[in-house]
Structures are given as C-alpha cells and as structure tokens.
Structure 1
Amino acid sequence: MKLEMGNFHVQDVVFAEKTFYKDGILSINKEEALAFIKEDEHIIDLDLVIAKPGESTRIVPVKEAVEPRIRPDGRAVFPGVTGDLEMAGEGRLHALKGVSVLGVGMHYGSFGDGLIDMGGEGAKYTLFSQLINICIVAHTDEEYERFEQQKKNTAIRMASHKFAEYLGSTVKDLDPEELEVFEIEPVTKRDESVSKLPSVVLVMQPQSQMEELGYNDLVYGWDMNKYVPSFMNPNEILDGALISGSFMPASSKWSTYDFQNFPTIKELYKEHGKTINFLGVIMSNLNVSLEQKKRSSIFVAQMAKSLGADGAIVTEEGYGNPDADYIMCLAALEDVGVKTVGISNECTGRDGGSQPLVTLDVKANALVSTGNVSQLIELPPAEKVIGELEALARDGLSGGWSFDELLGSSVKEDGSIIMENNAMFCGDMIAGWSTKTMKEF
C-alpha cells in the first residue's frame, strides 16, 4: 500500500471574508464556518475561536483534536464516519500541518475531557500548545448526559471531524509544499536485504472498554468494543481509519490527531529497511473481564509469531484496568519468543510512591514510562479562557475536583488552578511525542 501525504505548512490562521489557503495563511469565513457546523441540529450554541502558541490562553474542557485534511479524489477523510466506508491507506491525502481543530465544551465537561495552556508554564505539558488551534466551542441539546460525569460528547466530537474535512478542502486542488510517502511491501514479498533484518511489529491497544456503545474509539466507524485483534497496515492508521473516543482520562488519551500522526509508526517507518523489517500493526483492544483480556493476548501473540516477529512494541491508551491487558500482552509475546518493549504512562500517586501499573510481570522487563498521571500541576491564571474554567472543578474531569480537604477546589477565585496531570489534554503523549525525561534520585 502506498500513501502520499501532501503537506501544507500553516504559519497563521485568520478570520476573513473568504475561506481559503495561500502562502502559509489559512483564512476562514467565520459566518460560513459556523453555519456549516450548525448543520448538526444538536449544536444549539456555537462559537469559533483561534488560539495561538505563546498566548496567555487556557482551553477547557477539550474533548477532541483533529488535523484538517482532504482527499483530492473525493473519498471521505474518515471512512465510515464522515462519508462512505472505503479502505484507507492508499492514494493521495492533503494535510494542513501545524494546526488542529479542537472540540471544546462551551459549558459542560466530562471525565475524559482535558485542559490546554497555550503559553506560560502550562504550555510544556501538551503538544497542542505548539499548534494553532481552531476551537469549536459548542453547547448541545444532549440533555440526557448533561449532568453525567461520563459523556459521549457525540455532537461536538463529530463536528470536529467534519469541520477538519471542511477546512482541508481549502487545499484540495493545490500543489503540496512537501510530499511524504508511506509505502510498505506485503510481508511475504519483501526484498531479501529487508527480510533478513530483525522483524518488528507494533501492537496498539486503543480504548474499547465501555460496553455501552458510543464512548469508545472507532475503527472504520465501528465501535472497538466489538473488535478483536487484527493485523492492519500502518498506513490505515495514519490515513483516518481510527478516531478517538470520549472515555479515557485526558492525559492518557489518543486524540484523532494522534492517530493521524502516530509518531511511533513514523519512527518505525524511518528504520524500515535500514535497521529493522517493520511488519506492520497488530491492532488490539482493551477489555473488561479477565477472560477477554486473556483471549486478546492469545490473538496478539499468535499473530506476531505467525508473522515471524523478532520484536514488538506494545502501547496502551490508558492506565489502571487497561494495565492488565497491557502486561498480559507483553508476557504472552515474550512466551512465544518475541522480545517486547512497552510504552505507557503510570499511576504512582501524587507522591510518586505507589506501584506504577496495576499489575506487573517479570517478563515485562523493558518498559518506557511517559509520565505519572497523578503528578500535581499548579498554574497561575490565564488572561483568556476558551470554554468554561469551572468545568475543571465542577464536572468530574479526571484530574480536577470541586473540593479537597487539603488543596481546596481545583479552580481558585483568582483563576489559578491546581490539578493532576490526568486532566492535561493528551499530556502524556503516549503516541510517541513525549519530551519528558527520567531523573534518578
């Protein structure tokens, strides 16, 4: 499969009389854009706000992030979601780089929502402070979940995907400034010089634990709670086959932007044919019962062994209960002779003294940590808030609270905040973005 990614590097985003892209500037007719988003009858109040790196701007509650893209041949950017169901991973795709569409609650937050600071001390905690964010700030009529801590956030999340495609259309007929090519030969048809290199497979465990449909990540529009581990071409992931759900605590989340740009996949591509033979992706899942977890680990180990993998990287979206799937999968791979490295965050408590993963195994002896979800973060007030700051304390965001006997509320009267890293949107960057380092004391 050959995927051509035509990139357009956005230097600025402005509101203007016409929506178009030229010379690094993305111009948006705000009135037309709002009318397009409001085609979803469930969105009852709406604003569109641009947030730029370095600004004293705080965005919360953030529900989703998507890179604007378009397919010149007219196929849907997210097959099975924004259009007809067709295979992803082949053909030409155009992408606006350096920007993201953020889905933001105008008022109400949820367990899986997060916070982004565009400037100051808080900016270092998330990749999205480095991007120009086009924020869909919306209020919906989804009254049935208004006061639920766990929300599906369907209208706002779907609006983010559709609007990202809408903005991507500005470069549909333009010549890309840069062309990336992702091409990987069928596993059994590779050159001998490649086949003799150490064979590596990437195992991904997207969030799929919610048995009620609508909360989980989607693959080709299919709720991944109904999914079983399968072999996928890495191009499919980069090309819109997966989109993010609403369940995972924010710092542990893979947003749709993460799937579209998954750095671990891109690094494996860079080494393919040089130091490794990159076989592809075993797309696994995260389960509820022990039997389900065991079954998935068997599927993964069998596929890796049958593919002839010498090594594997396993990465999970989440922590806590998913740690059982993660460690069981690592152990199962080691049992069939596949040397395995794991990438995840950890939950060691606010003092760093707790067991980092819910369950451990001596076979899981090569683990990469992307950070502690419970780390306390204190940040001063921001000059501007996009969304509603009180949501961090009031609405059950995984890293915020309305009252703590020692720390008080997450949101102080002056607009300063204290929260756990849990609430930093995609803050642990488990997809492979992380700039964090370990320090030994």
Structure 2
Amino acid sequence: MKLTLGNFYVKEIVFGEKTSYNNGILTVNKEEALNVVKEDEHITFADLHIVKPGDSVRLCPVKEAIEPRYRVGGGPVFPGVTGELLQCGNGTTYALKDMSIIVVGKHYGGFQDGLIDMSGEGAKYTYYSQLKNLVLVADSDEEFERFEQQKKNKALRWAGMRLSEYIGACLKDLKPEEEEVFELEPLTKRSKEVNGLPSVALVLQPQSQMEEDGYNDLNYGWDTNHMLPTFMHPNEILDGALISGSFMPCSSKWATYDMQNFPMIRRLYEEHGKTINFAGIIMSNLNVALEQKERAALFVAQIAKSLGIDAAVVAEEGYGNPDADFIACIVALENAGVKTIGLTNECTGRDGASQPLVTLDEKANAIVSCGDVSDLIELPAMDLVLGELDALSRDGNSGGWDNDEKLGPSVRPDGSIIMENNGMFCGDRVVGWSTKTMVEF
C-alpha cells in the first residue's frame, strides 16, 4: 500500500467571504461552516472561534480534535463513519498542518472531556496549545446523557468531523507544499536486506472497553469492543480508519488528530529498512472480563508469532482496568519469544505511593512511562474561557472536583484552577510526542 499525504502548512486562520487556502492563510466562511455543523438537527447551538499559541484562552470541556483533510479523488475522510466504506491507506490525501479543529461543549462535560490552555503554565501539558485552532463551541439536545458522567457526545463529535471535511475540501484543486510518502511492501515480497533486519510490530490497544455502543473508538466505523485482534497496515491508521471515542479519562485519550498523525507509526517508518523491518500494526482492544483480556492477548501473540515478529511495541489508551489487557499482552508476546516494550501512563495517586499500574508482571520489564495522571497543578485565570469552566468541577471531568476538604473547589471564584493533570486534553500523549521527561532524585 502506498499513501501520499499532501501537506499545506497553516500560518494563520481568518474568517472571510470564501473558505479557501492561499500562501499559508486559511480563510473560513463562518456562516457556511456553521451550516455544515447544523446539518444535524440535534445541534442546538454552534459558534466558531479562532485561537492560536500564546492567546490567554482556556478551552473546557474539550471533546475532540481533528485534522482537516481532503481525500483526493473523492470519498469520506473517515470511511464507514462520515461516508461509505472504502479502503484507507492507498492514494493521496491532502492535510492542513499546524492546525486542528477543536470541539468544545458550550455547557456540559463529563469524565472523558478535558481542558486546553493556549498559554501559560497549562500550555505545556497538551500538544494542542502548539497549534492554530478553529474551535467549535456547540451544544445539543441529547438530554438523555446531559447529567451522565460518561457521555457519548455523538452530535458534537460528528459535527467536528463534518466541519473538518468541509474545511479540508478547500484544498481540492491546489498543489501541496510538501508530499510525504508512506509505503511498505507486502511482508512476503520484501528484499533480503530488509528481511534480514529485526521485524517489529506496533500493537495498538485503542479504547474499547465499553460494552454499549457509542463510547468506544471506531475502526472503519466498527465498534472496537466487538473486534478480535487483527493485522492492519499502518497507512490505514494515518489515513482515517481509526477515530477517537468518548470514554477514556481525558489525559489518556487519543484524539482523532493523534491517530491521523500517530508519531510512533511515523518513527517506525523512519527506521524501516535502516535498523528494523517494520511489519505493520497488530490492532488489539481493551476488554471487560478477564477471559476476554486473556483471549485478546493470545490472539496478539499468535499473530506476531505467525508473522515472524522479533520485537513489538505495545501502546495502551488509558489506565486502570485496561492495564490488565496491557500487561497480559506484553506477557503473551514475551512468552512467544517476542521482545516487547510498553507505552503507557501511570496512576500513582497524589502522594505517589500507589501501584502505578493495576497489574504488573516480571516479564513487563521495559515500559516507557508517559507520566503520572495524579500530579496536582495550579493554573492562573485566563482572559477568555471558551465553553464553560464550571464543567471541570460540576460534571465529573477527570482531574477536577466540586470540593475537596483540603484543597477546596477545583474552580476558584477568580477563574484560577487546581486540578490533577488527568484533566488535560490528551495530555499524556502515549501516541509518541510527549514533552514530559523523567527526573531521578
């Protein structure tokens, strides 16, 4: 499979008469864009804002981030979700780089929704403070889940995807500023030199532990809870096959933007043919019952062994219950003779004294930590809040609270906040572009 990404680098976003891209300037017709958002009758309110790095702006509750794209030759950017099914990972897709579409709730949030600061101390905790962002602030009539801690957020998330396709379509007749080519030969057709290198697979465990439809990540529109582990081409992930769900505690989430740009996939591509033979993706899942977890781990190990994989990287979206899947997968791979490392965050509690993962094993002896979700952070007030800051404390957002005996309310009267960094939108960045470092004391 051969995927060409045609990149256009956004220097500035402005509102104007025609949605277009020219010399780094993305112009958005606000009225047309909002009409696209409101195609869903469940959207009761919508507005658009432009924010950039350094702005004194706080976004909360943040629900999703998406990179605007256009599939050359036609077809949906997210097959099986925003349109008919078609194969991802072949052909050409155009992308607007250095920007994203951010979806924010006008009022209510939940456990899976987070916070972004575009400047100050909080900006370093999330990748999205580095981007120029077109922010959709919206509300819906989905009253059945308004006061639920876990929300599917379907109307708002789908509105973000429609908006990203509308914006991306302005690239249709343009020539990219840069082209990136991602191509892997079939496993049985690679050269002797490539096959002589250590064969490496990336094992992905996207959020999939909710048995009810509507919460989990989707693979070609298929709820990942219903999947058995399977082999996929990395180009499929980079080209829209996988979209983010609406369940995982926010710092642990992989936004759709993360999946479209997955840095670990790109890094393995860089080493392919040099130091490793990048075999591809073993797509696994996170399960509910212990037997389901063990079954998935056995499937992953069998696929790896059958493909002749020498080493694997296992990446987990989340923590807590999913840790059992994560460790079981590493152990099964090690038992199959596959040298394995893990990528995950950890939850050691505010005092740092808790076990970092729910389950551990001596064979899981090479784990890269992407940070502790329980670290307390204090952030000053911002000049502008897009959304509703009270959602951080009122609605059970991961990282926030209504009142604490020692710390008081998470949201203070002056607009400053104290929270666990668990509430930072996609803050742990297990996908591979974390700026966090480890210090030895």
Aligned to 1:281, the other structure's residue is in SS state strand
- Per-residue CA deviation, residues 35-73 of structure 1 (Å, 9 max, x unaligned), is 111111000011111111001100000000000000120
- 1:377 to partner: Cα distance: 1.0
What's the Cα RMSD here? 0.6
- 1:58 matched residue in structure 2: 58
1:381 aligns with: 381
1:337-391 CA-to-partner distances (Å, cap 9, x unmatched) read 0000000000011122211100000000000000001111110000110100100
* Aligned counterparts, 1:26-425, within 5 A: 26-425=26-425
- Stretches (4+) displaced over 4 A: none
Deviates more, 1:279-288 or 1:46-55: 46-55
Contact 2:392 2:400 in 1 (8 A): yes
**Amino acid of the residue matched to residue 383 of structure 2?**
E
- 1:325 match: secondary structure: helix
Q: CA–CA distance in 1 between the matches of 2:191 and 2:243?
A: 33
Alignment partners' CA distance in 2, 1:293 and 1:26:
45
C-alpha deviation, 1:31, in angstroms? 1.2
Give the distance between the partners of 1:410 and 1:6, measured in 2 at CA. Answer: 43
SS in 2 for 1:155: helix
Query: CA contact under 8 A between 1:301 and 1:336: conserved in structure 2?
Result: yes
Write the letter of the residue equivalent to 1:367: I
Q: CA deviation at 1:75?
A: 1.3
Q: Which amino acid aligns with 2:249?
A: P
1:150 and 1:80 map into 2 onto residues whose CA distance is: 24
Retained in 1: the 8 A contact 2:68–2:168? yes
Q: Measure the CA separation in 1 of the matches of 2:423 and 2:277.
A: 37
The one-letter code of the counterpart of 1:376 is L
TM-score, scaled to structure 1: 0.99
TM-score of the superposition, structure 2-length normalised?
A: 0.99
Instruction: Kindly provide the CA deviation profile for residues 146-202 of structure 1, in whole angstroms up to 9, marking residues without a partner as x.
Output: 111110000000011111011000111100000000000101110000000011000
Instruction: Give the AA of the match of 1:125.
Output: Y
Which consecutive residues of structure 2, in runs of 5 or more, have no partner in the other structure?
Answer: none
Instruction: Count residues in correspondence.
Output: 441
Is the contact made by 2:36 and 2:162 (CA closer than 8 Å) also made in structure 1? no
SS where residue 360 of structure 1 aligns?
coil
Question: Does structure 2 retain, via aligned residues, the 8 Å contact 1:315–1:342?
Answer: yes
Contact 2:202 2:314 in 1 (8 A): yes
SS of 1:134's equivalent in the other structure is strand
Does the Cα contact within 8 Å between 1:72 and 1:173 map onto a contact in 2? no
What is the deviation of 1:114? 0.5
Alignment of 1:5-16 (within 5 A): 5-16=5-16
CA distance in 1, matches of 2:372, 2:84: 40
**For 1:305, what is the secondary structure of its paired residue?**
helix
